[in-house]
Structure 1
Amino acid sequence: MGYIMDLREQVGSRPLIMAGACVLIFNHDSHLLLQRRTDSLDWGTIGGALELGESLEEAASRELFEEAGLTARSFKFITLLSGKDMYYRYPNGDEIYNVMAIYEAIGVQGNPKVNDNEGLELRYFH
């Protein structure tokens, strides 16, 4: 069980500040890979929360593989997002304020495939 799930056992659905990484994956036509989530049915980027002791780049790499079955040679830092606009309430009622490092995956290898229970499908968009 991950760090956030452990915290949820203690605090329930109350708001948490969650640090994480988001990965932008572009194909040769500059289309962006998005994932359709199982919990909300929304389309979103690949990414997730840090685990204890993990760097942001390590989280980006782990999430890229866990959610899309892909690896990358490196990650280019794009920006950091935080604040009230990063609030999210999950369909189950859990609340978070994300602090999210955005990276572009460089030298992506593999073919995108749903690799965990968080996604329904993966697709490139203009």
Structure 2
Amino acid sequence: MPRRDYEDDPGAPEANSLVPAASAVVVDHAGRVLLQRRTDNGMWALPGGTMEPGEPIGECAVRETLEETGVTVEITGIVGTYTNPRHVFAYDDGEVRQEFSICLLARPVGGALRVSDESSEVGWFAPDEVDGLPMVPAVRRRIDDGRTGDGPVVR
């Protein structure tokens, strides 16, 4: 389902849903970050998605990373919480979701890169490669926050 991201846009539609989600900054032994190109907006992003009932946030990040990229991860920390009410995702079905994501830090422990129905490309990217990729500002902020290692941020 296609989506459009709005951040600090006065023309953005008003949110009508709030769904807890997890994302993961997955860093390998060489310092590269795992990214996927989303099928719903064509932008590069961290793996992640919405929590299922009864699922802890860490398990959500592990599950979503495996589903979207083929990589099995272990959670090693927290990057931050991201709940900006001025960042919404508008879907073709009329849902307008306010951002609500816990971003976790993780390392790969198995699996192999593969695409899914949610990702058209996946790969490992060095920090200088990440800077040139098309992505929404909120995702770039999470990656940058994960790079600093300053501990959890609240945004």
TM-score, normalised by the number of residues in structure 1: 0.78
Q: Structure 1 CA distance, aligned partners of 2:77 and 2:39?
A: 28
Is the 1:35–1:119 contact (alpha carbons within 8 Å) kept by the matching residues of 2? yes
Is the 2:28–2:107 contact (alpha carbons within 8 Å) kept by the matching residues of 1? no
Q: Structure 1 CA distance, aligned partners of 2:111 and 2:80?
A: 25
Q: Structure 2 CA distance, aligned partners of 1:118 and 1:67?
A: 6
Matching residue of 2:119: 119
- State the secondary structure of the residue aligned to 1:109: strand
Query: Residues 107 and 31 of structure 1: is their aligned pair in 2 closer, same or farther, counting only changes over 3 Å?
Result: closer
Query: Residues 103 and 82 of structure 1: is their aligned pair in 2 closer, same or farther, counting only changes over 3 Å?
Result: same
Matching residue of 1:59: 60
Q: Deviations over 1:71-105 (max 9, x none)?
A: 12334112111022432223555310121011111
Matching residue of 1:80: 81
Matching residue of 1:109: 110
- State the secondary structure of the residue aligned to 2:73: strand
1:1-126 map, 5 Å: 15-90=16-91, 93-114=94-115, 116-125=116-125, 126=127
Point out where structure 1 has 5 or more consecutive residues left out of the alignment.
Answer: 1-13
Q: Which moved more, 1:74-83 or 1:104-113?
A: 104-113
Is the 1:82–1:97 contact (alpha carbons within 8 Å) kept by the matching residues of 2? yes
Q: How many residues align?
A: 112
Q: Deviations over 1:47-71 (max 9, x none)?
A: 0000111110110111011111111
Give RMSD over aligned pairs: 1.9
Query: Residues 79 and 41 of structure 1: is their aligned pair in 2 closer, same or farther, counting only changes over 3 Å?
Result: same
TM-score, normalised by the number of residues in structure 2: 0.64
Q: Which moved more, 1:72-81 or 1:88-97?
A: 88-97
Query: Residues 92 and 41 of structure 1: is their aligned pair in 2 closer, same or farther, counting only changes over 3 Å?
Result: farther
